[in-house]
Amino acid sequence: MTICTFANCAYLSETSRMIALHKELEAKDIDVVMATHGGPYERLFKEEGIDYKLIDPYMTHERARQFVQTNTGAKGIREFYGVSELRESVKQEIAFFKSSNVTKVVTGFTLSCGISARVAGIPLIVTHMGSFVPPVFERNMLVPTLVLNLKIFKLIPRSWLVKMINNLMYKSRIATKTFNQVAKEFSIKPFHSMTEMMMGDTVVVTDVPEILGIPKDELEAWQPAKNAKYYSYPATLRYGGAIYAKLFGDVPEEVTAFLKTDLPKIYVALTSGEPQVLDRVYEAVKGLKARVIICSTLHQFEMKQAPNIMVTDYLPSHKVMPLVDLAIIHGGQGSVQTAIESETPIIGIPLHVEQGLNVSIVEKHGAGLMQTKHDIDPIEIRAKIERILNQRSFKTNMERISKLQRQVDGVKKAVDIILES
């Protein structure tokens, strides 16, 4: 048995998940090989001492940015791949699986594996969906975080909006056109929605029932019976546990020194979103009686100097968050779970519905607050910051759900599921 962990190195979260799973599989003496099409986080394999296979076509840094923009809906980009790129990716992946005798594929958002693994007849296990799975939609758990600034949506009752957004998740064909064209070329069934396109034969739900709010028996017994016409492929859902990045070494000494204060401490990590959102958050924290660390990566953020703010590059969030009183993040599951592990309340500014789900779950537990990106106002952000810093309940509730998350070793549980699949 040879297991392939196939990372999408356009994303830190997916690269770090594959690294964690790869290392755990190696620790169990399982024959495992790492593969990727490349991207900005490919360097982490070298830093972590992991040999890997680079598969054509290569994903340059610019191509990685375009891929991420598709996932966030930026610039109206609706397809993850062009036809020729996807076709070649599938072709090269199949050739690699055969030459390496791969018997299972585990992927972190390398979506082309959804075609190549099925063509090759190899079980596909995915971890990249987090908690963004059909039982969530069927329970109407998604919230309308991204449309409320449009006048027409403000005229629609919120309950209708909630139902509409959740229904769209198993009906929306966004990003499926290219996939279905290539799927047809390789003689496999079409994908009825973007959700199905992201699913594998087994989906590891990287959460715990007590936090997500769906009982284990209910989630793991899920079948697409209610909406069967929207699914070509069967899928098994299994609860895993939290898996988040634990890379990038130590916190720089200058950051540690900056945070040695009795003042409140805030960590701003809005590293994959829009510059204007970060600008408005900066205006909110500028002049606060607090020390603020702003992590700037994608934007190469430049601003006026403020004595209470330090702007820095990549930081190990799992080591920074325990040092602060509040984290302001977009709400990717990895960032949210890092905050939960660190017992640090959050303000979440989601870029898309999956992040909105993650933030809304924390908000329901009373451990953070949500802010929609379209109508973000520095005064409103500052009010939410002060509310969290002044109300002990946010910290207490985050401590409570942190204990729930720690009940399961997410990496070990995911590997058990991979081996059983």
pLDDT in tens, 304-320: 678 899 988 778 999 99
pLDDT greater than 70 at residue 77: no
CB 328 within 8 A of CB 349: yes
Task: Name the range with the highest mean pLDDT among 59-68, 196-205, 220-229, 265-274.
Answer: 196-205
Rounded to two decimals, what is the model's pTM? Answer: 0.92
pLDDT greater than 70 at residue 366: yes
Please tell me the total number of residues recorded for the chain in this structure: 421
Q: Looking at residue 76, what is its pLDDT?
A: 57
Average the pLDDT over each of 5-14, 183-192, 266-275 and give the range with the smallest value. 266-275
CA distance 106 to 160: 37
CB 194 within 8 A of CB 176: yes
How many Å is the maximal CA-CA distance in the chain? 64
Q: Looking at residue 78, what is its pLDDT?
A: 77
Amino acid letter, 149: N
Residues 128-139, mean pLDDT to the nearest whole number: 94
pLDDT in tens, 36-55: 999 999 999 999 999 999 99
Each domain of the chain, given as residue ranges in start order, spans 2-245+408-420, 253-405
Report the SS3 class of residue 126. Answer: strand
Residues 354-366, mean pLDDT to the nearest whole number: 96
| CA distances, 9 to each of 114, 174, 296 (Å) | 17, 22, 19
Q: Looking at residue 374, what is its pLDDT?
A: 76
Q: Looking at residue 299, what is its pLDDT?
A: 47
CA distance 161 to 157: 7
Q: Looking at residue 411, what is its pLDDT?
A: 97
- Architecture of the domain made up of 2-245+408-420: 3-Layer(aba) Sandwich (3.40)
Percent pLDDT > 70 in the chain is 93
CA distance 302 to 296: 9
Q: Do domains 2-245+408-420 and 253-405 have the same CATH topology?
A: yes
Instruction: Specify the CATH number for 253-405; select among 3.90.1170.50, 3.40.190.10, 3.30.420.40, 3.40.50.2000.
Output: 3.40.50.2000
Residue partners of 404: CB distance under 8 A and separation at least 6? 208, 210, 211
- Integer-rounded Cα Rg, in Å, for the chain is 21
Report which DSSP code applies to 131: T
CA distance 193 to 168: 9
Q: Looking at residue 72, what is its pLDDT?
A: 60
Q: Looking at residue 122, what is its pLDDT?
A: 98
pLDDT in tens, 248-305: 689 999 999 999 999 999 999 987 667 788 889 999 999 899 999 998 754 455 556 7
pLDDT greater than 90 at residue 237: yes
